[in-house]
Amino acid sequence: MTGRRSLAIALVPLVFCILGPVARAQIAGSSPPTEPQPQPRPAHGVPQPRSVADQLDRLTAQLHLSADQQARVKIILDRRQAEMLRLRGADSLTATDRFTKLEAVKRDALEKINDLLTDEQRKSFPLSPQRPNGG
């Protein structure tokens, strides 16, 4: 019995250390301080999908997109993401069909984005040299 009591007494400070910031935050009317959580590592080297906002930010910085281009690229990226999610959830597709269709969606989005770019921006567009017509 004394062993349990000793354990309970030893755990009291730990409980206060854990719950203290939460209680103070609730009293102050804000959420507890949070540290950035590390991103989960990709399984088998598969890159984690980026959010549309992250992709748009990256393309904007890389290509110096105008506000109009940013708005149009965002629409393309949103549609691509929605279509890819739909395909990933399509149980009726074989793995090969799903892969083929996902690649077609990606290629179509890249082509649409490429069509929005100036000649100077196309030089910096990541996949434009791999296009079948040479750029």
Q: What is the pLDDT of residue 49?
A: 62
Is 118 part of any domain? yes
Tokens of 135: 């750029």
Q: Which domain holds residue 120?
A: 69-130
Neighbouring C-beta atoms of residue 80, cutoff 10 Å: 20
Is 89 part of any domain? yes
Task: Give tens-digit pLDDT for 46-93.
Answer: 555 689 999 999 999 999 999 999 999 999 999 999 999 999 999 999
Alpha-carbon distance of 47 to 130, in angstroms, equals 20
Residue 105: which residues within 8 A CB-CB, separation 6 or more? 80, 83, 84, 87
How many domains in the chain? 1
Is 27 part of any domain? no
Is 30 part of any domain? no
